[in-house]
A and B are shown apart, each in its own frame.
Chain A
Amino acid sequence: MISTRNILASAALVLATSPAALAEVEWPTQSVMLVTHSSAGGGGDVMLRNLAPTLEAKFGISTNVDNRVGGSGAVAASWLVNQANPDGYTLKSVTPTQLITPLRSAGIPTYEEMTPIARLFLDPTTLYVHDNSPFQTIEEFLDHARENPRDLSIGIGSAGSLDQLVLQNFTAATEIDARTVPHEGGGDAVVALLGEHVDAVVGEPGQALTHLQDGTLRMLTVFQEERLDTYPDVPTLAELGYEVTSNKFRGIFGPPGMDPEMVEAIATALSELYEDDPWNTYWTEASLSAAFMGPEEFTEYLGVVNEEMREFIEGLN
């Protein structure tokens, strides 16, 4: 491969009259800054902190993870649009939060103002409880919630997030009344559950990984079409007859005004990382599904998802 490319490049060098004609963008060749809106230990943060060493090991460059927490992602989004350098070395993790927040309040940059680079994963939303919890199954959980309105409290990572929408869908579909407790990120919600200060958490399995594995926390249900490979015994909510599914995507955005060739180069580099460690360990253990989309496909997908979110949020009001 490489030698072929070299030969082609040499041929191009001979033939080319303008140096721009042979510009083949390589990425990465210098330090990469990875920005996330989630706090330390939250989903986006964990993703970037695994992506960083994978990039470092594979490409021999340095990386920097920057948590720009706040405003349900608005702070990170505004920063990306207004201040980040579009040279391809400032990238941001992206989740449905980036679609929801601008729909909820005006003046926050939308995905259309940024450069979608790649969708990387679909991330299941699940509901889990503490090992000491009396609820062994989701049916028991629902029965208790129906008999005791507002008795159960359910923690989520942050206000105005996809987790909150899933939780609202869940309570609406199952006709239960539970209290929503927002935290400063998914990691904080898990700590609250570990201390048994909330009755359950709706969130990704990834943010509670070690605790789900050693049995401190117990997953009751999965909000998606099919059961998870890593938790084959946990039923989906659809199996109980409630159509509540969430497909939380994880991807990478760049600042506006990026060179399309650079965008392609980054997407290609990212698409080839799935088998590298610790990236591989991260996504398999967190029960993510590798769901790569390049820039064009991802942009289309975002348009569709954004409309769904818009309808949903308008329906809530």
Chain B
Amino acid sequence: MIETAVIAEAFLNVLSPYTLFFLFLGVLIGILAGILPGINGAIGISLILPFTFGMDPAVALIMMLGLWGGQNFGGGVTAALVHTPGAASGAATLFDGYPLAQKGQAGKALGVICIASSVGWFLSTIMLALIAVPLAAFALRFSAPEYFAVGIFGLSMVASMATKNIFKGAIATLFGLLIVTIGTDPFSGLPRFAFGRFELMDGINFLIVMIGVFAIAEVLHQAQKPTVHEEVRRFSRELPSWAEVRALLPTMVRSAGIGMLVGTAPGAGGSIAAFIAYNEAKRFSKTPEAFGTGALEGIAAPEAANNATEGGAMVPLLALGVPGSGAAAVILAAMILYGLRPGPRIFTDEPVLVYSLFFGLALGAVALLILGLLLTPYLAMLMRIPKPYLITGVTGLSFMAAMAITGLMFDVRLVLLFGIIGYIMRRYDFPPAPMILALVLGFMIETSMRRALIMSDGDWSIFVTRPISGTILALAVLSFLYPILRKIVSSARQGGA
């Protein structure tokens, strides 16, 4: 049992001005790292790591956790403003964030991103503090069949993403899955569809595809429009109203739960959680047709979910010493460096530290709310930049990001190639979202399916006889059929009326 004295000591530690200063600084650096494409949480944390020597370990870790959370918010900001995510976790925010900002409501879009990020972060921290240990045990029950089921559940969202033309959606999905097969066969270790190019042996990073298909394709699209008499574009810095935020609460709570669970499973991560939350928000929405045109729920869901994955990822990190993502791996390295041993015993050996981290995370969410809302009006001013300058800047930023992600000139050319592919897809109404989804999930689906079949010695029933896997697969079937059934039911009703 945790003593009150321990909790009080941890709380006072975190409330000291010294800790708070570094927490706010961490969140601020994280926001900037998130906004810049190509700089992710892991890189940001590695960059500040050397400056934390000599700091109290709790303060240093709290600063890193702040950076991590700030980064999840920043990624969504770039997605909403320039049609490409600043970090992988912001991928799903683009679908409604960008249309809303284009409607001149950039302030509202960023406000929702900030509030949802903070709420998701805060709720996941509470869940972390309450159920970290049992949740870690639950996470261990996830093995290959379960990861496969999660991947299939994710893919089932294609049906609701491609509402206009399910066949074009399916083609886009298959194209995404094809791209995933490029690289190295994970079970023989031999190159596969790499065309003798070592740059392709690691596969194609999905951010490279996203930057091409969204940012460069958007640039090509915008460049085609005449801009002879461009007036200064109107935009509002107005934040969302209290009533709007309150209406989003159920979405944010649900998404935080999804983010927390997905984050707990090592190897899934922020972008997968964001996609699942986005789709669930659409399913629960009273106005699903508004999704894709700037629905506030469509912005709040992925952002609450991706920030909540941080609390989720802390579960295996603290309780098992297993890092679930790049950022978590750097934090684990830092903990070992400070002489801490994450594992089941850390809760009893270092209770003050663990509770300091929990309070630090909770206050980090508050710091993000304050900093995010203060920065929003200035970030929204990006929208005032005249279009020719903006799209030129986006082009430069896209190539810079490609360079930053892998350091390969080859990938810069890939961005251009995917820009052209994205432009053609857009021209002929192939939705890019299912393709990105397939890219995010494809590798996990392939490796976990093949691993599960080795585990079962070729017996396919392993996917349905294991309770968690079977349940998730059943949900996947329902999720796939839901939009189709819904259409049939509503048309039957109309026919009857």
Contacts and interface: CB of A to CB of B under 8 A. Distances in A.
B198 A75 contact: yes
Interface string A113-143: 0000000000000000000000000000000
Nearest to B328: A40
How would you classify the secondary structure of chain B's contact residues: helix, strand, loop or mixed?
Answer: loop
Nearest to A74: B201
A115 to B, nearest CB: 19
Contacts of B184: 70-72, 74-75
B343 A197 contact: no
Interface string B452-491: 0011010000000000000000000000000000000000
Interface in B56-82: none
Contacts of A67: 326, 329
A12 interface: no
A179 interface: yes
A222 interface: no
B314 to A, nearest CB: 15
A41 interface: yes
B152 to A, nearest CB: 18
Contacts of A158: 186, 189
A175 B186 CA distance: 27
Interface hub of A105, A153, A181, A190 (most chain B Cβ within 10 A): A181
Nearest to B342: A210
Contacts of B332: 40-41, 49
Nearest to A72: B189
Contact of A191 (B50, B188, B322, B342): B322
Given A41-B332, A53-B333, A214-B343, 16 more contacts: A40-B328, A49-B332, A63-B50, A67-B326, A70-B184, A74-B189, A74-B201, A75-B201, A83-B407, A105-B191, A153-B455, A179-B455, A181-B455, A187-B323, A210-B345, A214-B344
A191 B142 CA distance: 10
Contact of B447 (A53, A184, A192, A278): A184
A35 B39 CA distance: 18
B336 A181 contact: no
B143 A71 contact: no
Contacts of A191: 140, 266, 316, 320, 322
12 contacts: A53-B333, A56-B50, A69-B202, A70-B203, A107-B196, A179-B455, A188-B266, A191-B316, A197-B144, A210-B343, A214-B345, A278-B337
Contacts of B454: 153, 179-181
A95 to B, nearest CB: 14
Contacts of B377: none
B191 A159 contact: no
B321 interface: yes
B140 A70 contact: no
A62 B50 contact: yes
B462 to A, nearest CB: 11
Contacts of A294: none
A101 B191 CA distance: 11
A178 to B, nearest CB: 11
A40 B190 contact: no
B202 A195 contact: no
Contacts of A161: 189
Nearest to A159: B189
Contacts of A184: 186, 267, 447
Interface string A185-205: 001101110111110000000
A56 B53 contact: yes
A71 B455 contact: no
Interface of A: 40-41, 45, 49-50, 52-53, 56-57, 62-65, 67-72, 74-75, 78-79, 82-83, 101, 104-105, 107, 150, 153, 158-161, 179-184, 187-188, 190-192, 194-198, 210-211, 214, 216, 278
Nearest to B197: A78
Contacts of B323: 40-41, 187
A197 B20 CA distance: 43
A67 B332 CA distance: 15
Contacts of A53: 333, 337
B451 interface: yes
A170 B40 CA distance: 42
B336 A104 contact: no
B138 to A, nearest CB: 10
A85 B191 CA distance: 25
Given A40-B329, A72-B189, A179-B454, A78 B320 contact: no
A104 B190 contact: yes
Contacts of A40: 323, 325-326, 328-329, 332
B455 A74 contact: no
Contacts of B181: none
B198 A82 contact: yes
Interface string B306-337: 00000000001000111101101100110011
B329 A197 contact: no
Interface string B17-61: 000000000000000000000000000001000100100000000
Top 4 closest A-B pairs, CB basis? Answer: A40-B329, A160-B189, A78-B198, A72-B189
Contacts of A195: 140-143
Contacts of B187: 159, 182
